[in-house]
Copies of this chain bind each other. A is one copy, B any other.
Amino acid sequence: MPNIKDIAKAAGVSTSTVSRVLNNNPLISLETRKHVLKVMRDFNYVPNSMARGLSNQKASTVALLVDMDDSPSFDNLFFHKVMYGIENALFKNNLSLVICNLQASGNRKKRLNSMVQGKHIQGAILPSLLLGSDLVNTLKKQEFPFVVLGEPENIAVPFDWVDINNAQGGQQAVGYLIEKGYRRIAFLRGRKTIFNRNRLLGYQAMLKQSNSPFDERLIAECDGSKDSAYREILRLLTLLSPPDAVICGDNVMSIGAMKAIREKGRKIPHDIGIISFDNYPMAELVEPTLTTVDIDLYEMGVEAVKLLLRRIENPAASHQVSLISTSLQVRESTRA
């Protein structure tokens, strides 16, 4: 396996010249560059990433920190798509992605520290869920570049983050339902997370904007499970003036909601319309298929990398936030 010396010798130049070619240094004459590149190709030369990293004092990897013990956050397609986006964006920048599992069961700080201090990674991307333990402070103190996935809650220090524009999603759902003639739109909220709150805020904002009355009784809170959704919808359907449409926090809740509606003898989408957040495969497996608020998680990953690279480039830059637009995926659960 050839190294830079071999190339230099074969090309009849010094190692620094080869290095410059490698790094696209503009000082090199076109002729020399071409020649060296040819030799590299002939030798099938690939620079040693560790030597490069050591010399440059920076790794060529970025970590995606996750808590794999936390199934709801890790064990779902959400994560996959984000990861896909991240990997692709990193690759385009000659970086590679390392997955680092910060389980609650292990010593998170220690593990992260060994990655950071050990120069294993150049930056990190982590879900806001992981912020609880004072990881942020640790990272901040070391001036280590990182970006957070999902709007953070109650964190004093400022940092870069990216999230889905959940409020916009709520607005789109309401707007579409109104457009289709639904009038009493319920909102089935899942766990008390910040993104569910934002979705609700969007819902309220759109009702107001379209001069529709806002009825607090149409907001149901559940724990995100199928069963709790089922119970809540049954309850809503016994109201004096029951809803004629429901916006569900996610696909799982939608299944509980649909069951309740079916049992009450109402027809979807004729009597009651449903829009669900998220767009998992099951949205197309149920009957009728679900109209969803689709969230572009791939793009969210790409954006996270963008922010991270910006931060690495300029550690002192002002903190930035990116929100990814949502879009409606119309299927059968809303009137045509």
Q: How far is the CB of A285 from chain B (nearest CB, A)?
A: 6
Q: In chain B, what residue has the closest Cβ to A69?
A: B84
Chain B contacts for A252, CB-based, 8 A? 281, 285
Bound complex: CA of A282 vs CA of B99, how far in Å? 27
* Chain A 52-102 interface residues, beta-carbon cutoff 8 Å to B: 53-54, 59-61, 68, 74-77, 79-81, 83-84, 87-88, 91, 96-101
A255 contacts B68, C-beta separation under 8 Å: no
Interface centre among A118, A120, A287 (most CB of B within 10 A): A118
Chain B contacts for A120, CB-based, 8 A? 49, 60, 96
Q: Given that A54-B54, A117-B46 are known contacts, is A80 also in contact with B74, CB under 8 Å in the complex?
A: yes
Chain B contacts for A75, CB-based, 8 A? 77, 80-81
Task: Write the A111-136 contact mask toward B (1 if CB under 8 angstroms, else 0).
Answer: 10111011110000000000000000
A98 contacts B101, C-beta separation under 8 Å: no
Q: Is A50 an interface residue (CB 8 A)?
A: yes
B49 contacts A118, C-beta separation under 8 Å: yes
Chain B contacts for A87, CB-based, 8 A? 68, 99-101
Q: Given that A48-B118, A114-B46, A119-B50 are known contacts, is A84 also in contact with B101, CB under 8 Å in the complex?
A: yes
Q: How far is the CB of A195 from chain B (nearest CB, A)?
A: 20
Q: Is A108 an interface residue (CB 8 A)?
A: no
Q: How far is the CB of A232 from chain B (nearest CB, A)?
A: 17
Q: In chain B, what residue has the closest Cβ to A226?
A: B285
Q: Is A212 an interface residue (CB 8 A)?
A: no
Q: Is A51 an interface residue (CB 8 A)?
A: yes
A50 contacts B46, C-beta separation under 8 Å: no
Interface residues, chain A, with chain B CB atoms under 8 Å away: 1, 44, 46-51, 53-54, 59-61, 68, 74-77, 79-81, 83-84, 87-88, 91, 96-101, 111, 113-115, 117-120, 226, 252, 255, 259, 281-282, 285, 287
Sampled A-B contacts (5; CB under 8 Å) = A84-B101, A97-B99, A98-B98, A98-B99, A282-B282
